[in-house]
Structure 1
Amino acid sequence: MGIDHRINANIAAMGLTHPTPIQAQGIPAVVEGRDVLGLAQTGTGKTAAFGLPMLTRLIKFGKKPDPKTCRALILAPTRELATQIAAHVDAYAEGTPIRAFRVVGGASINVQIERMSRGVDVLIATPGRLMDLIERRAIDLSATTYLVLDEGDQMLDIGFIHTLRRIAKMLPRERQTLLFSATMPKLMSELADTYLTDPVKVAVNPPGKAADKIDQGVHFVPQGDKATLLAEYLAKHPGELSMVFGRTKHGCEKLSKLLEKWGFSVAAIHGNKSQGQRERALAAFRKGDTQVLVATDVAARGLDIPEVAHVYNYDLPNVPENYVHRIGRTARAGRDGRAVAFCAPAEIGELRAIERAMKSSIAVIGGEVPVGAPLAGRAPRGRGKPVDAAAHKRPSRRPSRRPRSQQAHG
């Protein structure tokens, strides 16, 4: 496929021997120098789809980058995703002259300034910290000929679009731009056209579709009973990794402390945690030392932890597309996974919006169905798989060690 032989040796040692559909269709276009808009489900290898051919092209430069410059810029919406991309790029480029560096908030900006003074081949950054460094004249983007927007729909969202426009003005007009995402709402697609020139569009799965190997189900439950219900689900699968998504930083912290009090091995990731705390929590979860990770949507995108067997949507997301990203943390690398959404009466609107975005209904596996909600046991219309209701049937009584008075509320 035109990949440098040293990079090929590295990915073979990592066990990557056959390209996924997004890689098979996207890599040749990147090698040719074309702009690419890549849409594929989470867990299908999008990082390798843009990383392997980009590194191959960078190797051909044959000389070191100038001080304060980078030849390729990869922008990611969260620190966790930027860290993971950097780890993959380092692994792909081992034994080559390519040097990559990650800049994110929460880390020493002085260390980042010192490192950038020597220049790097690949810079992986979150937009906020990148702008901090640009304003301090620590980074010069005039020689950056490759731009990658990972999780492109979020990078083009209102929270990032103004910063992205400022960054784009500092880049050369003659550049190669790659945009990859699992979801791409219509407005985001229109915005993407302003950054891509005659792009090759690679859509290996319908945008917004969840991976087929994820068994999905919704359990209707009063808001005040969610913590006890979650504890019952977790207790059924000891030794298996579970991610629990909440809506707010305060709610996630409160829930994690309650689960810890109830005897579960748990950690939390959200915006109020320091960078060091977030990295330690993720490292412990990857190793299996922590078996439950409670997180806001900062952990919903891109994180690749194949051993995650269960995803629980403790609170349904306000943005329907985020549901697909959340449950995409399971069923990775060809494995099976299970996703359960807890739906309180006040969240029926969010549930319907999610089903419209996915163009399929989610099977009801428990609880009393409110009026107007999907009927229990309704099969999805040809997309996704319902969760095994028998395997997830709620026990008739609460765990004795979890008194109702200690329940967390969303």
Structure 2
Amino acid sequence: MFDFDMLGLAPALNDALARSGFTEPTPIQNQAIPLALEGHDILGLAQTGTGKTLAFGLPMIDHLLAQPGKPAPKTAKALVLAPTRELVNQISESLRGLSASTRIRVATVVGGQSIGRQIAVLSRGVDILVATPGRLIDLMDRGAVDLSTVRHLVLDEADQMLDLGFIHALRKIAPKLGTPRQTMLFSATMPKQMEELSRAYLKDPRRVQVSPPGKAADKVTQSVHFVDKAAKPSKLREILSADMDALTLVFARTKHGAEKLMKGLVADGYNAASIHGNKSQGQRDRAIKAFRDGTVTVLVATDVAARGIDIPGVAYVVNYDLPEVPDSYVHRIGRTARAGREGEAIAFCAADEIDLLRQIERLMKVEIPTGSGTRPADHVSGKPVRNSGPARRRGGGGGGGKPGGHAAAKPDHVKARRPRRRRVAA
């Protein structure tokens, strides 16, 4: 293990790290940064919330600072691709913080925002371009960006890009990039397609893996509550009422379901908002900002937010609906227990979701502890849960209250008394 100041980074980067309070790297940073500084291609496998942005951002900016000259109009020296608008904004914010006192210019292009304004920004040239694949293709088709000078490529959350069908966009973008270049690919899971992607875009990569793919963060306590579908709304309110001020992220399967759930919570006095594909980018940004500063304490989301929220204060993730893709469960619960904190992941499982739960547990190679309800007899594996202790919180079962003074769970037949909360418009 080393300190950041032992890496030989540019003084401006060391100053930025010091201002942000970073002293010791995380495991993924510990392994990836020295290799990336040497110029190797990187295949990084790590859970969400482990510090991947600094793992690729620090060596990339260091390399760019060593290169003379400004970017030519319409060009970029480095390209970072991410699957969602929220993740692109998160990465851009981190990179701007690292490069604030340098000449490095970071630009962001995503859908849902003025393409004319993005064209104007790109016309002056940028050092680092952070983009979603779809909007980048639009700009390429308009002749607004020339990628031939890109010598650093980062694919962040590459497995989700594959899930969302961006493989065709990657195949269109890659031939336009400059060579030789350094490519870094980061992912929380390693499906078969990811191996094919790494062979296609990485040259003799150094593989960096800090935990088995599909494994949740060690500090996440998990539980599953077996409930009828009709009982999910009351179960959710019971859980929320036991820790009124905690930031809780609730995942629903569909856009309509997320919006309906949020409106019901607001009507009952909860400070709730929602983000999903039917929301404009401005609405999504405002909801995340309100959630980050605590004005909104319950954020209902679809998987559009599974990897796009980096808020260390998220205490709980509730899987109101289990995801249809098992990997998504790992990414969802990775929204809590970030930056070394502890967190709790609570899942609801109705009768028609038993197979989805089986797939999740098979991927993670654990049996999630039962928080309440009865697990079907044919679904008891007896395997130990390596990353989950007893259910620590609210909602019934699992061994009592959460350390740190959170309220104990009330029995299902006792109606939770909750103070009326100031309503916040969604």
Smaller-chain TM-score range?
A: over 0.9
3-state secondary structure, aligned to 1:372? helix
Q: Which amino acid aligns with 1:66?
A: A
Give the drift of 1:31: 0.8
- Pick one of 339, 344, 347 that aligns with 1:341: 347
Quickly say closer, same or farther: Cα 1:385–1:186, change in 2 above 3 A.
Answer: farther
Note the C-alpha offset of 1:277. Answer: 0.2
Report if aligned partners of 1:252, 1:268 keep a CA contact under 8 Å in 2. yes
Counterpart residue identity of residue 59, structure 1:
L
Which residue of structure 1 aligns with residue 379 of structure 2? Answer: 373
Using the TM superposition, give the Cα deviation of residue 148 of structure 1 relative to its aligned residue in structure 2, in angstroms: 0.3
Matched, 1:395 2:401: no
Secondary structure, counterpart of 1:194 in structure 2: helix
The letter of the residue matching 1:353 is: Q
Matched letter for residue 164 of structure 1 = L
SS of residue in 2 equivalent to 1:385: coil
Matched, 1:143 2:136: no
Amino acid of the structure 2 residue aligned with 1:226: K
Give the partner amino acid of 1:385.
G
Partner of 1:227: 233
Residue 26 of structure 1 and its aligned partner are, at CA, apart by: 0.3
Rounded Cα–Cα distance in structure 2 between residues aligned with 1:386 and 1:85: 34
Find 1:167's aligned residue among 152, 156, 173.
Answer: 173
Shift in CA distance, 227/70, structure 1 to aligned 2, threshold 3 Å: same
1:63 aligns with 2:84: no
Aligned-partner SS, 1:156:
helix
- Kindly report the root-mean-square deviation, in angstroms, between the aligned alpha carbons of the 2 structures: 1.6
Rounded Cα–Cα distance in structure 1 between residues aligned with 2:417 and 2:336: 29
Q: Is the 8 A contact 1:360 1:384 kept in 2?
A: no
Distance in 1 separating the partners of 2:219 and 2:166: 32
How far is 1:40 from its partner? 1.1
Whether the aligned pair in 1 keeps the contact of 2:42 and 2:185 (CA below 8 Å) is: yes
1:407 corresponding residue in structure 2: none
DSSP-derived class of the 1:106 partner: coil
Question: Within 5 A, what are the aligned runs for 1:35-50?
Answer: 35-50=41-56
Could you tell me how far 1:174 is from its partner in structure 2?
1.3
Instruction: Indicate if the aligned counterparts of 1:210 and 1:384 stay in contact, CA closer than 8 A.
Output: no
Partners in 1 of 2:136 and 2:414 — Cα distance? Answer: 49
Note the C-alpha offset of 1:158: 5.8
Partner residue, 2:206: 200
Worse-matched range after superposition: 158-167 or 76-85: 158-167
Equivalent residue letter for 2:384: P
Mapped contact 1:243–1:294 kept (Cα < 8 A): yes
- Preserved contact between residue 85 and residue 308 of structure 2 (Cα < 8 Å): no
Q: How many angstroms does 1:187 deviate by? A: 2.8
Q: How does 1:200-279 map to 2 (within 5 A)?
A: 200-279=206-285
Contact 1:366 1:394 in 2 (8 A): no
- Among all aligned residue pairs of Structure 1 and Structure 2, give the percentage whose two residues are the same amino acid: 57
SS in 2 for 1:193: helix
What is the CA–CA distance in structure 1 between the aligned matches of 2:415 and 2:270, rounded to whole Å? 13
Q: How many Å apart are 1:400 and its aligned residue?
A: 7.1
Q: What is the Cα deviation at residue 303 of structure 1?
A: 2.0
Closer, same or farther in 2 for the Cα pair 1:383/1:283, shift >3 Å?
Answer: closer
The whole-number CA distance in structure 1 between the counterparts of 2:227 and 2:49 is 30
- CA positional deviation for 1:155: 2.2
Paired with 2:149 and 2:326, the residues of 1 have a C-alpha distance of 38
Whether the aligned pair in 1 keeps the contact of 2:49 and 2:339 (CA below 8 Å) is: yes
- Counterpart among 182, 206, 217 of residue 176 in structure 1: 182
Distance across 1 between alignment mates of 2:24 and 2:164? 37
Distance 1:183 1:213 in 2: 18
Aligned length: 400
Alignment correspondent of 2:111: 105
Partner of residue 326 from structure 2, selected from 302, 305, 320: 320
Q: Structure 1 pair 284/337, CA: closer, same or farther in 2 (3 Å)? A: same
Q: Which residue number in structure 1 is paired with residue 158 of structure 2?
A: 152
Structure 1: distance between partners of 2:372 and 2:384: 16
Map of 2:304 onto structure 1: 298
Aligned to 1:22: 28
Contact 1:363–1:379 (CA under 8 A) maintained in structure 2:
no
SS of the residue corresponding to residue 159 of structure 1 reads coil
1:311 equivalent to 2:317? Answer: yes
Equivalent residue number for residue 421 of structure 2? none
Give per-residue Cα distances to partners, 1:162-210, cap 9 Å, x unaligned: 1111001111241110011111123322322211100010001111110
1:385 correspondence with 2:363: no
- Partner amino acid, structure 1, of 2:75: T
2:4 alignment counterpart? none
Change (3 A) 1:367 1:336: same
Separation of aligned partners in 2, 1:220 and 1:121: 51
- What is the letter of the counterpart of residue 228 of structure 1? S
Between 1:242-251 and 1:166-175, the stretch displaced more is 166-175
Check the 8 A contact 2:368/2:385 in 1, yes or no. no
Q: Deviations over 1:354-383 (max 9, x none)?
A: 0111111100110132342337xx663434
Shift of 1:37: 0.4
State the SS of the aligned residue for 1:49.
helix
Unaligned runs of 5+ in 2: 1-6, 393-397, 402-407, 419-426
CA–CA separation in structure 2 for the residues paired with 1:61 and 1:167: 24
| Amino acid in the other structure paired with 1:264 | Y
Shift of 1:44: 1.0
Q: CA deviation at 1:302?
A: 4.5
Q: 3-state DSSP class of the match of 2:108?
A: strand
Counterpart contact for 1:228–1:398, Cα < 8 Å: no
Please name the residue that 1:405 is paired with.
none
